[in-house]
Amino acid sequence: MATRTPVPTSQNVGESRAHSLWRGLLRWESALVLVLIGVVIFGSSQTPNFLNPTNFFYAGLNMGEIAIMALPLTLIIMTGEMDLSVASMLGLSGALMGELFSNGWPIWLAIAAALVVGALGGALNGVLVARVGLPSIAVTIGTLALFRGIALILLAPRTITGFPASLTTIGVVPIPGTEVAYSAAIFLVMAVITGVILHATPLGRSIFAIGLQPEAAQFAGIRVNRIKFCLYVVSGLVCAFAGILLTLKNASVSYDAGTGLELNVVAIVLFGGVSIFGGRGTIIGVVLSVAIVGALQQALTQMNIQPEVQNIVLGVLLLISVVIPNSGEAIAHIRDRARRRA
């Protein structure tokens, strides 16, 4: 993955030469590895048995759904678009599954229906963004309200419980013989698949190309709109799946499950080094970002530190993650201006 070379465009050829040294030495992913090591050392020094396997299980359990939703979102952001409806889709899928189940549908049929609705919701985003050409931030704020609103209509103030114990066990015990939570294992498998698609297939190269220069990608014969549409469908499907996992994990669902998580998911993707303008980022970075946030949350929780402080830490990390990689360019710009004035 380290061998990927940025697609040169007329604009950034000069820029990339100046920065290649910088980037080679100081890839964001290597910085993330150091941060992860730092967090683990910090956690171990502050709490006894931080590296105990149960901790690993809980970290996986807590991060699972967010991490899973981060994968398709990474691809979408990589194309220069955005999806803020992810957490609402998670809520809608859980609500639909709960509603159908409480009406006597077999659980597997309820799950299948939730997945279908996930794909349809994603297709709605995809049509509006890729076919109609509307700005994705605005569209997905709209579907954020719409999906959550439908979840509210479905469940209203009810909380659905009573899901089969054979399935809700994923929220209580790890995969037998290991200390890996089911959702964490699913995330890792999906991360490998996404990583291969992004970094080793023509589709992945197309996604980078779209993010760097949509018009150039179009002229190079890449079906920009079709790829964007498909990514939104996949995002809807995967978020619906995350909603099913969350519902089973909690063994209950209400309409507001996962409210506000969309910004956490976006924060994790961006902290993983994915550029908000598209065209830059790796799946490894996102996986490291998930691991850091999960480990940090576990450490701070064990130290009995208020969840609010975790917010501050997450915010500061996010800020650092954009300021540091950009500082070289910013300093060059300031110097340039100072020289011009002199």
Partner 1 sequence: MSVVTAPAPAPTGRPVSRMESLLRARELGIALVIVIVFGLTTLNNHSFAQVASIQQLLSGAALIALLGVGETLVIVTRNVDLSVGSVVGLSAYIVGDLFKHHQGMPVLLGFVIAIAVGAAIGAINGLVTTVARVPSLVVTLAMLYIVRGVDGVLVNGTTIDPSSIPAAFTAVGYQTLFGIPWLAIIVVVVVAAAGYAMRSFRSSRDLYAIGSNPDAAALAGIPAARRVFTAFLISGALAGLAGALFLALHAQIDVSGGTGYELTVVAAVVVGGVAIFGGSGTVLGAALGALLLNTINQALVASRVSSFWNGAIAGALLLAAIAFDRWLSLRVARSLQSAEGAHRDL
Which residues contact partner 1 (rule: CB under 8 A)? 84, 128, 132-135, 137-139, 141-150, 152-153, 156, 259-260, 263, 266-267, 270, 276-277, 306-316, 318-319, 321-323, 326-327, 329-330, 333-334
Q: Which helix (H) or strand (E) holds 70?
A: helix 53-78
The 3-state DSSP class for residue 253 equals: strand
Pick 183 or 254: Cβ nearer partner 1? 254
Pick 177 or 307: Cβ nearer partner 1? 307
Rounded CA separation 246/91 (Å): 9
Question: Which contacts of 200-209 are long-range, i.e. CB under 8 A and separated by 24 or more positions?
Answer: 203/227, 207/75, 207/78, 207/79, 207/231, 208/7, 208/78, 208/279, 209/7, 209/279
What's the closest the beta carbon of residue 171 comes to partner 1, in angstroms? 26
Pick 172 or 312: Cβ nearer partner 1? 312
Task: Return phi, psi of residue 305, to 5°.
Answer: -90, 140
Pick 46 or 306: Cβ nearer partner 1? 306
Pick 153 or 196: Cβ nearer partner 1? 153
Query: Which residues are CB-neighbours of 139 under 8 A, at least 6 positions away?
Result: 125, 128, 129
What's the closest the beta carbon of residue 26 comes to partner 1, in angstroms? 16
Pick 206 or 298: Cβ nearer partner 1? 298
Pick 247 or 321: Cβ nearer partner 1? 321
Nearest residue to 55 via CA among 43, 70, 41, 37: 43
What's the closest the beta carbon of residue 245 comes to partner 1, in angstroms? 23
Rounded CA separation 50/299 (Å): 7
What's the closest the beta carbon of residue 274 comes to partner 1, in angstroms? 10
Number of H helices, E strands in the chain: 14, 2
Rounded CA separation 206/214 (Å): 10
Query: Which residues are CB-neighbours of 172 under 8 A, at least 6 positions away?
Result: none
What's the closest the beta carbon of residue 146 comes to partner 1, in angstroms? 3
Pick 128 or 240: Cβ nearer partner 1? 128
The 3-state DSSP class for residue 160 equals: strand
What's the closest the beta carbon of residue 293 comes to partner 1, in angstroms? 11
Rounded CA separation 4/42 (Å): 33
**Are 29 and 276 in contact, with CB atoms under 8 Å apart?**
no
What's the closest the beta carbon of residue 133 comes to partner 1, in angstroms? 7
What's the closest the beta carbon of residue 164 comes to partner 1, in angstroms? 28
